[in-house]
Copies of this chain bind each other. A is one copy, B any other.
């Protein structure tokens, strides 16, 4: 009666999954009601697979020997990437296997096709490990908060960028220097693009938005900005104003006159008040803030990456799958939280239509009347200003920085105001624009 699992990928998370399942085999079986065992491991590097298996599982370089094998009940996909993983997952589904995956890129981009195929074939595709590592946020959104109309989500869901931002703030260093250190420490990859440009966070935000709002995956419509161009100066000014800058993945419903308008789906550096719990999430930790209409604010915190935290989520999915392995599909939790025939076609709003607070920084000539000109331009567009910071110019300098914090405004209006501000002869160079959320 043992559930037989085939593992694709013997890298860090694959090794962690094998280790956790072996070490906690007894407790896991006491929970699941059946033993769960990885019986076969596929990896192109056979030695690596053999080191993980250590004689306790068959090893192969041929992943198809797992996805097609009649003696395998569940396939765990930990290869990552789009193409090969997609082919293997689709073959596993076609062969009637349940699938557990940690692959956010795959689900954000090809999830709609994968879930349709899984529904058709009557198998489960579980993906707790795809978002925020060991934090059971998928289960929380899909089941624990199922009573709620989920209004919005804001998550620190990429550990690499949070580590870099924490170091930039606490040590006052520029981005490039901290990135180089993070790469040396193994916190950032040799090619850090996916992390620092916000793509990884956007994959995860896409998945959370789908299960929160009951829509298909809409990664192609996400607005994505990373932290590559973030100036240490803005972190410092934000701190003086009582804010910290975090790379947030945000999904928020919007209505007009009580009718659904769409939802915002965006990843970007964001000012949040230093007093908020989310602002205190430092280093490589992850946290997701969720607001539901009944529950109010909630927050889920933990390690977002690493071998065993991610394995914790993979194995929790294996336990879930085990429990309903032989149940009628109607008794299972739907993949995307909502029944597949009840998904909504709520669109993602274009970035110009989002609402946010804004941080605007500009260099201005040190002469009377500049601030009055700038604030008039902002006020004319119906945007109200919360705070202004204008440090004294240094000795011998004839320009200074001005920082404005606005209340919530439509981004399109803010863009117009910025264009008008940049046209002022007393404003020197482009305006730096960051978004701000007060999480209330």
Complex contact B297–A300 (CB within 8 A): no
Complex contact B333–A295 (CB within 8 A): no
State in angstroms the CA–CA spacing of A302 and B313 once bound together.
22
State in angstroms the CA–CA spacing of A12 and B300 once bound together.
26
Complex contact A315–B24 (CB within 8 A): no
Minimal beta-carbon separation of A276 from chain B (angstroms):
9
Complex contact B296–A27 (CB within 8 A): no
Complex contact B144–A316 (CB within 8 A): yes
Nearest B residue to A339 by beta-carbon distance? Answer: B33
In the complex, A185 has a CB within 8 A of chain B = no
In the complex, A229 has a CB within 8 A of chain B = no
Complex contact A147–B295 (CB within 8 A): no
Q: Could you mark each residue 297-333 of chain A with 1 if its beta carbon is under 8 Å from any beta carbon of chain B, else 0?
A: 1111111001011011111101110011011101111
State in angstroms the CA–CA spacing of A347 and B324 once bound together.
32
Complex contact B302–A297 (CB within 8 A): yes
Complex contact B280–A147 (CB within 8 A): no
State in angstroms the CA–CA spacing of A292 and B134 once bound together.
10
- Residues of B near A302 (CB, < 8 A) are 295-299
Bin chain A's interface residue count: 35 or more
State in angstroms the CA–CA spacing of A303 and B23 once bound together.
35
- Residues of B near A372 (CB, < 8 A) are none
State in angstroms the CA–CA spacing of A147 and B334 once bound together.
21
Given contacts A296-B308, A323-B332, A327-B328, contact A315 B147 (CB under 8 A): yes
Q: Which of the candidate stretches A38-46, A86-94, A135-143 sits at the interface with the other chain?
A: A135-143
Complex contact A323–B312 (CB within 8 A): no
In the complex, A294 has a CB within 8 A of chain B = yes
Residues of A199-223 whose CB lies within 8 A of B: 214
Q: Could you mark each residue 125-160 of chain A with 1 if its beta carbon is under 8 Å from any beta carbon of chain B, else 0?
A: 000100001111001100111111100000000000
User: Taking each of A128, A143, A292, A333, which has the highest tally of chain B beta carbons within 10 Å of its own beta carbon?
Assistant: A143
- Residues of B near A294 (CB, < 8 A) are 16, 20, 24, 134, 308-309, 311-312, 315
- Residues of B near A293 (CB, < 8 A) are 23-24, 308
State in angstroms the CA–CA spacing of A327 and B148 once bound together.
25
User: Taking each of A31, A294, A297, which has the highest tally of chain B beta carbons within 10 Å of its own beta carbon?
Assistant: A294
State in angstroms the CA–CA spacing of A16 and B82 once bound together.
45
